[in-house]
């Protein structure tokens, strides 16, 4: 059966209130014996009871996040400034001007010296093209993907004490790498999942796909009344998408994208509520690809010499701001308190009366939330989100620190931020947390959670060895 819509739930509540009012009326105007046998009363009561029963049978179970794990590569994969410079100078296609351009991008990016690069960068220069560039192979890309996925899932299953036999759904999202067999098949084979497991692969959705994968898992789990488990793996393999040309709009991705992977386990099993970290309150996805500017803001294509890369246009930050505002129009009524919605509505009316001389105020989203995982796409993206939402440095601190420590890990970035909150011990039971991410296309996704426990010091938290150094001044 389909879960009831918001309108159906409101009608059910109205019917229940009407039943109470009608019962009170009959009780005060009819003799007691007549009240029990009055046909209208019996019919109305029967309809209300049937509605309540249908609501109970079709109401979706709460979506619980049992736990999550973030992959932390080994120390010898750290991508320091020295490693970056050494690798870049091996590219015969890069001009001195482009090398200087990349240096400036890196130094202003907000990334530190502790981020991680894919394995092929550290391999001996034996596999080269005529130009002398190191060529990442399919083997390199698969190695990068498997290392992150297997490490994250191993840790997650160990923490949750969930047998692979219990997993009903596997969702793997990897924006720019889609091998055959699929990455979800790698997981099924590695953990010997049952034949009835349902697998899904998301690709080409950019940094928002981690949020979108969680939303997909929740929608799947809501369709069944059985207690089921969904394993969500959020990764990226940048080996085959490393750009070796000289187009500056495509060189930016080499400077900010780094290795990362996260795995999360969701369930509708009510018996695991005491073990779960969070409950999903709401999720919102908006797609703005109908606008050509948004559609082309981040685009994979070949340059004039045939090298494939992802071009980040100068319009990207403006597009992010514009579409964030559109996204908030959908999200705000669902999470903001009435006081903030009323204040915003008043400012809209006042702005129109003033003939456009004044602008509507931005609602205070932190009035409805305690914490926020801001998209860690880069320094400019974090600043744009802060500008649109009028966020303080305290709110954006986890995003800025995550960018410094791990770089832009694409779709898994919000889970590294989540690890920062827990390592700092800032989350308490009942706190609400908002995750927001942007993706190519152009897409915006939001997840709103409620914490079911206080933050814990997990042994596999990727921040454990450095959390005392943060926060620090990054820009």
**Candidates 169, 186, 327, 371; catalytic one:** 371
Q: Which residues have CB under 8 Å from 176's CB, separation 6+?
A: 203, 204, 236, 237, 238, 240, 241, 300, 310
207 is catalytic: yes
Q: 247 an active-site residue?
A: no
Sole residue written with tokens 């597009």: 319
Comparing C-alpha atoms, which of 201, 168, 197 is closest to residue 183? 201
Phi, psi (degrees; rounded to nearest 5) at 92: -75, -20
Catalytic residue, chosen from 207, 255, 373, 411, is: 207
Nearest-angstrom CA–CA distance, 440 and 261: 19
**CA dist., res. 445 & res. 172, Å (int):** 17
C-alpha pair distances (Å), 54 with each of 2, 22, 49, 51: 11, 21, 9, 5
3-state SS class at 450: strand
Question: What would the two tokens of residue 264 be?
Answer: 């999360």
Query: Which distant-in-sequence residues (6+ apart) come within 8 Å of 143 by Cβ?
Result: 119, 239
Q: How far is CA 99 from the centre of its chain?
A: 33
State yes or no: is 404 an active-site residue.
yes
CB 258 within 8 A of CB 110: no
327 is catalytic: no
For residue 1, the SS3 value is coil
* Token couple for 68: 């999550």
Torsion of CA 98, 104, 109, 114, to 10 degrees: 90
27 part of the active site: no
Instruction: Say which residue the tokens 């400012």 belong to.
Output: 347
Could you give the angle at which helices 183-191 and 138-160 cross, rounded to 10 degrees? 50
| Candidate list 288, 375, 411, 461, residue with the active-site label | 375
Backbone angles phi, psi at 417, to 5 degrees: -65, -40
Active site residue 161: no
Give the start-end residues of each E strand in 83-205: 169-174, 198-202
CA 157 to chain CA centroid, nearest Å: 21
* 38, 201, 287, 464: the active-site residue: 287
CA–CA gap between residue 331 and residue 389 (Å, rounded): 13
Is residue 7 classed as helix, strand or coil in its secondary structure? helix
The number of C-alpha atoms within 13 Å of 68 and in the hemisphere containing its C-beta is 27
- Catalytic residue numbers read 207, 287, 371, 375, 404, 408
């Amino acid at each position: 059966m389909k879960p009831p819509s918001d309108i159906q739930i409101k009608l059910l509540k109205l019917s229940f209130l009407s039943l109470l009012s009608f019962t009170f009326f009959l009780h005060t105007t009819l003799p007691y014996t007549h009240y029990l046998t009055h046909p209208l009363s019996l019919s109305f009561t029967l309809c209300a009871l049937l509605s309540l029963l249908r609501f109970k049978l079709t109401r979706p179970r709460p979506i619980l996040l049992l736990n999550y794990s973030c992959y932390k590569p080994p120390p010898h994969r750290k991508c320091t400034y020295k490693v970056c410079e050494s690798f870049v100078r091996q590219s015969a296609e890069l001009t001195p001007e482009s090398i200087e351009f990349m240096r400036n991008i890196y130094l202003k990016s907000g990334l530190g010296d502790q981020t991680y690069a894919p394995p092929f960068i550290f391999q001996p220069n034996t596999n080269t093209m005529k130009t002398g560039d190191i060529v990442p192979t399919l083997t390199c890309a698969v190695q990068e993907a498997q290392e992150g996925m297997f490490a994250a899932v191993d840790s997650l299953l160990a923490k949750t004490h969930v047998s692979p036999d219990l997993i009903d759904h596997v969702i793997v999202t990897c924006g720019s790498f889609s091998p055959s067999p699929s990455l979800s098949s790698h997981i099924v084979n590695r953990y010997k999942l049952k034949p009835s497991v349902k697998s899904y692969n998301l690709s080409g959705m950019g940094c928002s796909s981690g949020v979108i994968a969680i939303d997909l898992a929740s929608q799947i789990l809501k369709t069944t009344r059985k207690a089921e488990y969904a394993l969500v793996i959020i990764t990226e393999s940048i080996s085959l998408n490393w750009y070796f040309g000289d187009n500056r709009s495509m060189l930016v991705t080499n400077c900010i994208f780094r290795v990362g992977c996260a795995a999360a386990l969701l369930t509708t099993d009510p018996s695991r509520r005491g073990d779960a970290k969070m409950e999903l309150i709401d999720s919102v996805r908006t797609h703005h690809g109908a606008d050509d500017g948004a559609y082309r803001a981040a685009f994979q294509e070949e340059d004039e010499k045939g090298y494939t890369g992802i071009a980040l246009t100068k319009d990207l930050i403006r597009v992010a701001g514009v579409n964030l505002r559109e996204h908030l129009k959908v999200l705000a009524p669902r999470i903001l308190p009435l006081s903030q919605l009323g204040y915003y509505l008043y400012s809209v009316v006042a702005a129109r009366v003033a003939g456009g001389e004044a602008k509507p105020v931005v609602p205070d989203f932190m009035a409805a939330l305690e914490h926020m995982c801001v998209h860690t796409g880069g320094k400019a993206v974090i600043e744009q989100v802060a500008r649109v939402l009028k966020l303080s440095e305290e709110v954006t601190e986890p995003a800025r620190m995550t960018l410094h420590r791990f770089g832009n890990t694409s779709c898994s970035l919000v889970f590294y931020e989540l690890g920062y909150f827990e390592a700092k011990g800032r989350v308490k039971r009942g706190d609400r947390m908002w995750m927001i991410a942007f993706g190519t296309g152009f897409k915006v996704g939001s997840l709103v959670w409620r914490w079911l426990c206080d933050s814990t010091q997990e042994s596999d938290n990727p921040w454990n060895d450095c959390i005392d150094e943060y926060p620090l001044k990054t820009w």
